Amino acid sequence: MEKNFDIISFGEMMLRLSPPGKQRFSRSGSFEKQAGGSELNIAAGVAALGLNTAIISRMPVHDVSQFIMNEIRALGVADDYIIYDKNPDTRLGIYYYESGASPRKPSIIYDRKGSAINRIKFDEIPPEAYGSTRLFHTSGITLALGEATRSAAQNMMKRFKEAGAILSFDVNYRANLWSEDEARRTIEKVLPLLDILFISEETTRKMFRKTGELHDIMKSYCSDYGIPVVATTERKVIGASQHSFSSTIYSSKDDRFYNEHAYEKIEVVDRIGSGDAYVAGVLFGMLKYTDLQKALEFGNAMAAVKSTIPGDLIVTSFGEIERIIKAHQGEQQSEMNR
Amino acid sequence: MEKNFDIISFGEMMLRLSPPGKQRFSRSGSFEKQAGGSELNIAAGVAALGLNTAIISRMPVHDVSQFIMNEIRALGVADDYIIYDKNPDTRLGIYYYESGASPRKPSIIYDRKGSAINRIKFDEIPPEAYGSTRLFHTSGITLALGEATRSAAQNMMKRFKEAGAILSFDVNYRANLWSEDEARRTIEKVLPLLDILFISEETTRKMFRKTGELHDIMKSYCSDYGIPVVATTERKVIGASQHSFSSTIYSSKDDRFYNEHAYEKIEVVDRIGSGDAYVAGVLFGMLKYTDLQKALEFGNAMAAVKSTIPGDLIVTSFGEIERIIKAHQGEQQSEMNR
Amino acid sequence: MEKNFDIISFGEMMLRLSPPGKQRFSRSGSFEKQAGGSELNIAAGVAALGLNTAIISRMPVHDVSQFIMNEIRALGVADDYIIYDKNPDTRLGIYYYESGASPRKPSIIYDRKGSAINRIKFDEIPPEAYGSTRLFHTSGITLALGEATRSAAQNMMKRFKEAGAILSFDVNYRANLWSEDEARRTIEKVLPLLDILFISEETTRKMFRKTGELHDIMKSYCSDYGIPVVATTERKVIGASQHSFSSTIYSSKDDRFYNEHAYEKIEVVDRIGSGDAYVAGVLFGMLKYTDLQKALEFGNAMAAVKSTIPGDLIVTSFGEIERIIKAHQGEQQSEMNR
Amino acid sequence: MEKNFDIISFGEMMLRLSPPGKQRFSRSGSFEKQAGGSELNIAAGVAALGLNTAIISRMPVHDVSQFIMNEIRALGVADDYIIYDKNPDTRLGIYYYESGASPRKPSIIYDRKGSAINRIKFDEIPPEAYGSTRLFHTSGITLALGEATRSAAQNMMKRFKEAGAILSFDVNYRANLWSEDEARRTIEKVLPLLDILFISEETTRKMFRKTGELHDIMKSYCSDYGIPVVATTERKVIGASQHSFSSTIYSSKDDRFYNEHAYEKIEVVDRIGSGDAYVAGVLFGMLKYTDLQKALEFGNAMAAVKSTIPGDLIVTSFGEIERIIKAHQGEQQSEMNR
Amino acid sequence: MEKNFDIISFGEMMLRLSPPGKQRFSRSGSFEKQAGGSELNIAAGVAALGLNTAIISRMPVHDVSQFIMNEIRALGVADDYIIYDKNPDTRLGIYYYESGASPRKPSIIYDRKGSAINRIKFDEIPPEAYGSTRLFHTSGITLALGEATRSAAQNMMKRFKEAGAILSFDVNYRANLWSEDEARRTIEKVLPLLDILFISEETTRKMFRKTGELHDIMKSYCSDYGIPVVATTERKVIGASQHSFSSTIYSSKDDRFYNEHAYEKIEVVDRIGSGDAYVAGVLFGMLKYTDLQKALEFGNAMAAVKSTIPGDLIVTSFGEIERIIKAHQGEQQSEMNR
Amino acid sequence: MEKNFDIISFGEMMLRLSPPGKQRFSRSGSFEKQAGGSELNIAAGVAALGLNTAIISRMPVHDVSQFIMNEIRALGVADDYIIYDKNPDTRLGIYYYESGASPRKPSIIYDRKGSAINRIKFDEIPPEAYGSTRLFHTSGITLALGEATRSAAQNMMKRFKEAGAILSFDVNYRANLWSEDEARRTIEKVLPLLDILFISEETTRKMFRKTGELHDIMKSYCSDYGIPVVATTERKVIGASQHSFSSTIYSSKDDRFYNEHAYEKIEVVDRIGSGDAYVAGVLFGMLKYTDLQKALEFGNAMAAVKSTIPGDLIVTSFGEIERIIKAHQGEQQSEMNR
Q: What is the 3-state secondary structure (H, E, C) of B216-258?
A: HHHHHHHHHHCCCEEEEEEEEEEECCEEEEEEEEEECCCCEEE
For residue B73, tell me if it sits in a domain: no
Residue F16 CA to residue F230 CA, distance in Å, equals: 30
Q: Rounded to 5 degrees, what are φ and ψ at C305? A: -65, -40
Q: pLDDT tens for residues B273-329?
A: 999 999 999 999 999 998 999 999 999 999 999 999 999 999 999 999 999 999 999
Pairing between β-strand E53-60 and β-strand E14-18 as defined by DSSP bridges: unpaired
Beta-carbon contacts of F18 under 8 Å, excluding residues fewer than 6 positions away, are F31, F32, F34, F96, F97, F98, F99
CATH number at residue D151: 3.40.1190.20
Position D258: which residue type? Y
d(CA F218, CA F208) in angstroms, rounded, equals 12
Q: Which of A101, A107, A176 sits opposite F269 (nearest CB)?
A: A101
Interatomic CA distance for residues A188 and A167, integer angstroms: 15
List C-alpha distances in Å: E260 to E122, E294, E295. Answer: 41, 10, 11
- Kindly state the DSSP code that residue B188 receives in the 8-state scheme: H
CB atoms within 10 A of CB D189: 12
The 10s digit of each residue's pLDDT in B60-115 is: 999 999 999 999 999 999 999 999 999 988 999 999 999 999 999 999 999 999 99
Is residue C336 predicted with pLDDT exceeding 90?
no
In a domain, B67, yes or no: no
Q: Do A111 and B96 touch (CB under 8 A)?
A: no
> What average pLDDT is seen over chain B?
96
Is residue D285 one of the residues assigned to a domain?
yes
Q: Which uninterrupted H or E stretch holds D287? A: helix D274-289
For residue E321, the distance in angstroms to the closest alpha carbon of chain A comes to: 26
On chain A, the residues whose CB falls within 8 A of the CB of C70 are 74-75
Does B76 sit within 8 Å of F71, measured CB to CB?
Answer: no
Q: What are phi and psi of B277, to 5 degrees?
A: -65, -35
In tens, the pLDDT along F29-73 reads 999 999 999 999 999 999 999 999 999 999 999 999 999 999 999
B178 CB-near residues (< 8 Å, 6+ apart): B144, B186
F175 vs D: CB within 8 A: no
A199 belongs to a structural domain: yes
Radius of gyration, CA atoms only, chain E: 19
**What interface predicted TM-score (ipTM) does this complex get?**
0.94
Nearest to A237 by CA among A101, A139, A38, A129: A101
Distance from CA of E70 to the nearest CA of F (A): 13
- Are D253 and D228 a contacting pair, CB within 8 Å? yes
Give Cα A257 to chain centroid, integer Å: 22
With cut-offs at 50, 70 and 90, classify the pLDDT of residue A155. Answer: very high
The answer to whether residues C49 and C284 touch, using CB atoms and an 8 Å cutoff, is yes
Residue D112 has a CB neighbour count (10 Å cut-off) of 20
Are the C-beta atoms of C197 and C231 separated by less than 8 Å? yes
Question: With contact defined as beta carbons under 8 Å apart, do E61 and E33 qualify?
Answer: no
- The model's pLDDT over D219-273, given as tens digits with 9 standing for 90+, comes to 999 999 999 999 999 999 999 999 999 999 999 999 999 999 999 999 999 999 9
Pairing of strands C166-170, C196-198: parallel
Task: Say if D63 is an interface residue toward chain F (CB within 8 Å).
Answer: yes
Q: Show which subunits contact A, needing at least 3 CB pairs below 8 angstroms.
A: B, C, E, F
Identify the DSSP state of A105.
P
Tell me which chain C residue has its CA closest to the CA of residue B95: C338
pLDDT tens figures, E49-104: 999 999 999 999 999 999 999 999 999 999 999 999 999 889 999 999 999 999 99
| F26 to D113: CB separation less than 8 angstroms, yes or no | no
**Residues in chain F within 8 Å Cβ distance of B70:** 74-75
Q: How far is C105 from chain E (nearest CA, A)?
A: 14
CA distance A302 to A317: 10
**Mean pLDDT across A34-47:** 98
Relative to beta strand B77-78, strand B53-60 is parallel
Q: Name the minimum distance, in Å, from the CA of F175 to any CA of chain E.
A: 6
Are residues D31 and F31, on separate chains, in Cβ contact within 8 Å? yes
Domain annotation covers residue C69: no
Residues E5, E7, E10, E11, CA torsion sign: negative
Instruction: Look at residues E32, E62, E26, E8 and name the one whose alpha carbon lies nearest to residue E272.
Output: E32
Q: Do E73 and D71 touch (CB under 8 A)?
A: no
* Domain carrying residue F259: 38-91+117-328
Task: State what percent of residues in chain A have pLDDT above 70.
Answer: 100
Left if phi > 0, otherwise alpha if psi is -120 to 50, otherwise beta: which for C76? left
Q: Which residues contact A337 (CB under 8 A, 6 or more apart)?
A: E105, E107, E108, E175, E176
Using the Cβ of A27 and the Cβ atoms of chain F, whether some distance falls under 8 Å is answered with yes
Tell me which chain C residues have a C-beta less than 8 angstroms from the C-beta of D303.
none
- Consecutive H or E run containing F325: helix F318-328
**CA dist., res. F44 & res. D157, Å (int):** 54
Q: Cβ of B337 and D107 within 8 Å? A: yes
Residue B333 pLDDT class (50, 70, 90 cuts): confident
Interface check for A302 against chain E (CB to CB < 8 A): the answer is no
- In angstroms, the CA F142 to CA F150 distance is 6
pLDDT in tens, C121-174: 999 999 999 999 999 999 999 999 999 999 999 999 999 999 999 999 999 999
The HSE-up count of residue F107 (CA atoms within 13 Å, CB side) is: 22
pLDDT, block means (10 residues), chain E with 338 residues: 91 98 96 98 98 98 97 97 93 97 95 96 96 98 97 98 98 93 96 97 92 95 96 94 96 96 96 97 96 98 98 97 96 79
Q: Is 90 exceeded by the pLDDT of residue F88?
A: no
Query: Is C304 in CB contact (< 8 Å) with chain B?
Result: yes
d(CA A277, CA A45): 6
Kindly state whether F67 is in contact with chain D, defined as any CB-CB distance less than 8 angstroms: yes
| Closest CB to E103 among A266, A269, A337 | A266
**Residue F1 confidence class, pLDDT cut points 50, 70, 90:** low
If we measure between CA atoms, which residue out of B239, B265, B253 comes closest to residue B104?
Answer: B239
Domain assignment of residue F240, yes or no: yes
Closest CA in chain A for residue C67? A74
Separation CA A113–CA C231 (nearest Å): 51
Let me know if residue B200 belongs to a domain.
yes
Closest CA in chain C for residue B96: C338
Over residues F208-225, mean pLDDT: 94
Are residues D63 and F176, on separate chains, in Cβ contact within 8 Å? no
Contact B91 A107 (CB under 8 A): no
Looking at this protein, which amino acid is placed at residue A214? L
Domain count, chain A: 1
| d(CA B268, nearest CA chain C) in Å | 12
Per-residue model confidence as pLDDT tens digits over B183-240: 999 999 999 999 999 999 999 999 999 999 999 999 999 999 999 999 999 999 999 9
Burial (CB < 10 A; 0-12, 13-18, 19+), residue B336, is: middle
Residue E130 to residues E8, E58, E136, E155, F60, Cα–Cα distance (Å): 9, 17, 9, 11, 59
Q: Do F64 and D33 touch (CB under 8 A)?
A: no
Which of B109, B145, B178 is the best residue to mutate to test the A interface, defined by the most A CB atoms within 10 Å of its own CB? Answer: B109
CA distance B48 to chain A (A): 20
Query: Model confidence over A246-282: pLDDT tens digits?
Result: 999 999 999 999 999 999 999 999 999 999 999 999 9
Residue A106 to residues A245, E53, F334, Cα–Cα distance (Å): 18, 48, 11
Strands of B133-204, DSSP E: 133-139, 166-170, 196-198
CA of B110: which chain C residue's CA is closest? C338
**Radius of gyration over alpha carbons of chain F, in Å?**
19
